[in-house]
Amino acid sequence: MNDGNKDVRQALNVRDISDYLYCARKVYLRKTLNLREKTNAKMIKGMIRHEIFDELNKTEANIVSGITQQKNLTEMGDIYKMHLLGITERIFRKYENLAVSFEINMQEYWQDFWKNVQQEIQLRIKAISKLLEKNILGYELWQSLEPKYLTEFKISSERLQLVGRIDRVMIEKQDGRTIYVPCEIKNADAIKPYESDMLQLACYAILLEDKFNTKVMEGIIQYKNKSIRIAIDESRRQKVFSIIKSIDNFPSSQIPKIQENFRKCESCGLRDECFDI
C-alpha cells in the first residue's frame, strides 16, 4: 500500500493523473501493482521521436545563431530539415537493435516524422522571418526571437514527484517577464475541451511554475478543428493535487472497478492483465 509519502513513492506521470479521470483501475495497475505495458513498435517510435525533440530543444540556439545572412522560408525549412535528419540518423543508430527487432525502417520513419513535424517547423521559421526582415542576424537573431518554442519538452519536479512531457511550450516576454504557455495537441476534433485535457494543462502549468519560479495563467489545447485557450485557475490546480492524493492512497485490497465504457479498453496496453484480475 502506498502511504502517500511523496519522498518515497515513485514519481507520477502527468498521464496517470489524466487517465485517472476515465479509468482509475488502469492507474492502479501501473502504480500499485507495478504492471507495465509490453514494448511495441509504437513505443520505440515514440522514444526515438522524444529524443529527436530533446536534442532539437537543446541545439536550436545554435541553429538560429548560425543564420548569418538573409534566408527565405524554404531555405530556413531546409536548414531545420537537414539538422533534424542528422539528429534522426544518430538516434536511430542508438536504437538500431530495437528498431530491427520491431521492423522499424529508418527511411520510412524519417518520411513520416518530417511530414508530421511541419507545423512545428513553420511556427519557428515564421517567427525568424519577421526578424530577418529587420536585418537581425546571428546571435542577435536568437536573442531577439519571440516567441520561442520547445517541442515535446520533458519536465519534472523532484519536490512534487511529478514528471511529464509537454507537446509544446511557447515562451514570450510580457512587461519584462518571461511567460510560459503550455500547449496540448490532440489528434481529434472537439466541440468543447475535455476535462482530462484541461487537467493535463493544469499539470503542465504546475510543473512549469515549479521549474521556472513563475506563474502560468493559461494554456492552449489544440484540437484538429480549433485551438482553445484555457485559464489555469486555482480550482484546476487543486483538482490535480486531489487526484495525486487519491492515487497515493489507493487501498491495496480494493481494486477499482473496470471502466464501463469499453471503447478505450480496446487500445489499452494493460487490457489482458486487467481482465485477468
pLDDT at 5: 44
Q: Is 166 helix (H, G, I), strand (E, B) or coil?
A: strand
Summarize the confidence of residues 218-235 as an average pLDDT: 94
Confidence of residue 276 (pLDDT cuts 50, 70, 90): confident
Confidence of residue 67 (pLDDT cuts 50, 70, 90): very high
pLDDT at 1: 36
Distance CA 79, CA 63 (A): 8
User: In the chain, what are the domain boundaries?
Assistant: 1-32+147-266, 34-145
Confidence of residue 9 (pLDDT cuts 50, 70, 90): low
Q: Does residue 7 have a pLDDT over 60?
A: no
Cell of 27: 492507474
| Span 127-148, pLDDT tens digits | 999 999 999 999 999 999 999 9
**Which among 197, 175, 161 is positioned nearest to 21, based on CA atoms?**
197
Summarize the confidence of residues 259-270 as an average pLDDT: 79
Q: Does residue 59 have a pLDDT over 50?
A: yes
pLDDT at 2: 42
Q: Does residue 4 have a pLDDT over 70?
A: no
pLDDT at 255: 86
Distance CA 32, CA 222 (A): 33
Q: Is 66 helix (H, G, I), strand (E, B) or coil?
A: coil
Confidence of residue 187 (pLDDT cuts 50, 70, 90): confident
pLDDT at 60: 97
Distance CA 1, CA 12 (A): 15
Whole-structure pTM value: 0.90
Q: Does residue 55 have a pLDDT over 90?
A: yes
Confidence of residue 6 (pLDDT cuts 50, 70, 90): very low
Q: Does residue 261 have a pLDDT over 80?
A: no
Q: Does residue 180 have a pLDDT over 50?
A: yes
Summarize the confidence of residues 230-251 as an average pLDDT: 93
Q: Does residue 254 have a pLDDT over 90?
A: no
Chain CA centroid to CA 77, Å: 23
| Span 13-38, pLDDT tens digits | 999 999 998 889 999 999 888 899 88
Give yes or no for a cis peptide into 182 (omega within 30° of 0). Answer: no
Chain CA centroid to CA 90, Å: 22
